[in-house]
Structure 1
Amino acid sequence: MFAAPAAGQDRREEPARSVVLVHGAFVDGSGWKGVYDRLQRGGYEVSVVQLATNSLADDVAATKRAIAAASGSVILVGHSYGGVVISEAGSDPKVAALIYVAAFVPDVGESVATLISTPVPGAPVPPILPPKDGYLLIDRAEFAEAFAADVPADLAAFMANSQLPWGVEALSGAVSKPAWRTRPSWYLVASDDRMIAPEAQWTMAHRAGARMAEVAASHAIYVSKPEAVAALIEEAARENAR
């Protein structure tokens, strides 16, 4: 049997049991299915935010609604552009920690547009087509290689053909108060990423003081390596009891 804590000794609180998952650009929340299933089996309450990706303000509002509906403290997870969303939404008092998955990590006044304005020398150029009617898409013929090289071919083709157009307004949405300045954060680097250069991922993670892990995976790491993503989320949940 475990002994009860002595008088005056702090009791260890239960880990955070709620997780909110925020997808990135060009995709929707269904890609989190593998991560969702693993966390559910682990006893976590999991919510998947569906972003319109029309504007950062709208996407932050959608994420805050999910945080408000969650039970207790929340581990907030963002992939790619979702990193911008959680940086702005994560200052909510219910948020215990932030997890960035191959994601952008902006500082005050920064957006995806500013973060990509200085590309990493020698890094692949994402095959994003010129904007049309204010929205962006990835060239379908190059989607698999650029975004989902380690995802089964049929699924990568489906992702390419079911893209969610990304609003230019969302691309330029700037963060006003980055939550990583007041919340502990973790970062999972995708070392084979051809959308956000791994070097840029390391640089952003270091700047945020995030704990870092690296996995050999494409930008779609949350689809191809859900076990690695779920493991990092569970680590953050254990270490951020509230």
Structure 2
Amino acid sequence: MKSTGNSILITGGGSGIGQALAHRWHDAGNHVIITGRRQQMLDDAIAGRERMTAYALDVTAADAVEAFARQVVSDHPSLNILVNNAGIYSAEKITAHRDIADAEDMVETNIIGPIRMMNAFIDHLSGQADAAIINISSGLAFVPFPAAPTYSATKAALHAYTAAIRPLLKGKVEVIEIIPPQVQTELTPGQSTDPNSMPLNAFADEVMALLHAADTPAEVCVEGVRYFREAEAKGQFNDALNMLAKYS
């Protein structure tokens, strides 16, 4: 992946991992476009940064995504990188009948949303030099968290989708997956101060170093997530799953 001179669109760029990566890409000499549901948060994220632009967008609204894609391509014809970062998390108790609205929202946001965005921009990206799609999954794609089965399943689906499209787009659009561990963000209450979560700045710095290496890996795995990414291959899946189950 080219490190500078890109025009990069990041969903969920107003906070957390999305904002941290957006700021680093901006500071590296890229134009960065961020989206999210809350305009004020987006405005705060781009304040004082002349090469950043913000648009309010809900990736669960199909018609809005299509209209947004047309507008962004018109406003920013040099757009060459799409980063699917927007996601939501809800813990679940599945041992008795329940309202599954939260589960449906996670599926719509975390997997249908990225598919919708990729579909909306694929024709444009395929015609751009140095084009890339970057999907942000999770270590829970590889060892699911029993307290959050639907969230884990959406991230596993995004991993599978990303792997499946990579050979289809080879030579036209580089396809990269970023696999975070638990990071100090507000994805869940208290996570931003959890000492067992990776500090956000350390995560973003390590991701940038990997992305901008001479040969960008297809999967960007910081050291803190390798245990989960490699658990099944190393015969440690059940141990990792049982460890996570203790927190359920």
Q: When the two structures are superposed, what TM-score results if normalisation uses the length of structure 2? A: 0.43
Report which structure shows greater RCO (CA 8 Å, sep ≥6). Answer: 1
Question: Relative to total residues, which structure has the larger helix share, 1 or 2?
Answer: 2
